[in-house]
C-alpha cells in the first residue's frame, strides 16, 4: 500500500517514529523502496550534491521537475515531497504555478517551502486547491546568504517566533514540517505544541521523525560527517576502489576476456573478410 499524507499524520498520532531521506534519481528511488524507506524528499540540496553548486540558490524549477520525475518513476509506493526552489513561491499565484508543474510534470505528491509568516498566504492558497504542503523552519538554506549557516532560534524571543510560526503553518494547513538546526529543547517544544509531524535534521531526538541527505548517510561525498548527519556506510570509498580496479584491468588487458563477449563461427568471419575485400 502506498504511503500517503494521511498516513504520515497518523504515524505521529500513534507515536510512530518517521524516517525520511532525500532522493534525487531513479536508481536511488528503487533502492529506497526496497529498503522500506517510502517518505522521500526530492530536496533542492541536489544543487550541491548532484549539480555541483555551492548552495541551493541556483536550482531551478526545471531541475526539480526532472529529478522529481525520475524519483517518481522509481518509487511508485512512496510519498514524494519536492522542494519548491528559490523564489518560485514569492507570491501565492507563483506558488500555485510552480506546484502545478511539480505535481503534473514532476510526479510530486506534496511540496515543501521554507519560512514562517511570510509564506502563510502561499501555504493557505496551495492547501485550498488540494496541494499538500510541508513547511520548513529553523535554518532555511534558501536564506543562507541572509541568516548564515548556523543553529537558529537560540534566544527566547527567536524561540517564541519559531513556535508561533509552527502553529501558524499548522493552522494554514501544512501537514508536516522540517525543523533544521534548532536547539534540541526547542525542537521538542515545537513538536509538543503542534499536532502535525515535525521532521528534524540537526534538531535532536525530540522531533517526530528525521530526514537525512542520501549522500551523507551513505558516505558518497569525501568530507568528514556533519555533526547532525548519520553516517551508515562509506559507499564513496567502495565506488572509488571499484573504479580504480576497473581502470587498472583495462590498462593491463585483464578486462575484458573472451568470456565477456559473444562469439560467432570462424567461417562467418572469413566470409565477412572476403565480402569486404570484394566491395573494396
Catalytic site residues? 180
Q: Is 63 annotated as a binding residue?
A: no
Which 3-state string (H, E, C) describes 247-270? HHHHHHCCCCCHHHCCCCCHHHHH
Is residue 177 within 8 A of residue 165, CB to CB? The reply is no
Place of cell 533502492: 31
Q: What is the dihedral of CA 165, 170, 174, 175, to 10 degrees?
A: 130
Distances (CA, A) of 102 to 14, 40, 78, 206: 31, 15, 16, 31
Q: Is 114 annotated as a binding residue?
A: yes
Q: Residue 164 half-sphere exposure, CB side, CA atoms within 13 Å? A: 9
* 44 carries a ligand binding annotation: yes
Alpha carbons 50 and 237: distance in angstroms, whole number: 17
Whether the Cβ atoms of residue 78 and residue 29 lie closer than 8 Å to each other: yes
222 is in an annotated binding site: no
The answer on whether 45 is annotated among ligand-binding residues is yes
Place of cell 514569492: 90
Residues in contact with 230: Cβ distance below 8 Å, sequence separation at least 6, in sequence order: 210, 212, 216, 217
Strands (E) in the chain, as ranges, are 18-22, 39-42, 79-83, 110-112, 133-138, 176-180, 198-201, 209-212
What distance in Å separates the CA atoms of residue 249 and residue 94, rounded to the nearest whole number? Answer: 53
Q: What share of the chain is helix, strand, coil (3-state, %, to 5)?
A: 50, 15, 40
Residues in the annotated binding site: 44-45, 83, 112, 114
Amino acid at each position: 500500500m502506498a504511503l500517503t499524507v494521511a498516513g504520515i499524520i497518523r504515524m505521529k498520532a500513534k507515536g510512530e517514529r518517521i524516517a525520511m531521506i532525500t532522493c534525487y534519481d531513479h536508481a536511488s528511488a528503487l533502492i529506497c523502496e526496497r529498503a522500506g524507506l517510502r517518505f522521500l524528499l526530492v530536496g533542492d540540496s541536489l544543487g550541491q550534491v548532484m549539480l555541483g553548486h555551492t548552495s541551493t540558490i541556483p536550482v531551478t524549477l526545471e531541475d526539480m521537475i526532472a529529478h522529481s520525475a525520475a524519483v517518481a518513476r522509481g518509487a511508485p509506493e512512496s510519498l514524494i515531497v519536492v522542494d519548491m526552489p528559490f523564489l518560485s513561491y514569492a507570491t501565492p499565484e507563483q506558488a500555485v504555478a510552480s506546484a502545478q508543474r511539480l505535481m503534473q510534470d514532476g510526479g510530486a505528491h506534496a511540496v515543501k517551502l521554507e519560512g514562517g509568516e511570510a509564506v502563510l498566504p502561499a501555504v493557505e492558497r496551495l492547501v485550498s486547491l488540494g496541494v499538500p504542503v510541508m513547511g520548513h523552519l529553523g535554518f532555511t538554506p534558501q536564506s543562507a546568504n541572509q541568516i548564515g549557516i548556523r543553529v537558529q532560534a537560540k534566544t527566547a524571543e527567536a524561540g517564541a517566533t519559531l513556535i508561533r510560526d509552527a502553529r501558524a503553518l499548522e493552522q494554514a494547513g501544512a501537514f508536516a514540517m522540517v525543523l533544521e538546526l534548532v536547539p534540541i529543547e526547542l525542537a521538542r517544544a515545537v513538536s509538543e505544541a503542534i499536532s502535525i509531524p515535525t521532521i528534524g535534521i540537526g534538531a535532536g531526538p525530540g522531533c517526530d521523525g528525521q530526514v537525512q541527505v542520501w549522500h551523507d548517510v551513505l558516505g558518497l561525498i569525501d568530507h568528514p560527517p556533519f555533526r547532525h548527519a548519520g553516517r551508515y556506510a562509506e559507499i564513496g570509498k567502495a565506488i572509488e576502489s571499484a573504479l580504480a580496479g576497473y581502470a587498472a584491468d583495462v590498462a593491463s588487458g585483464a578486462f575484458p576476456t573472451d568470456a565477456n563477449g559473444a562469439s560467432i563461427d570462424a567461417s562467418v568471419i572469413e566470409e565477412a573478410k572476403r565480402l569486404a575485400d570484394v566491395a573494396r
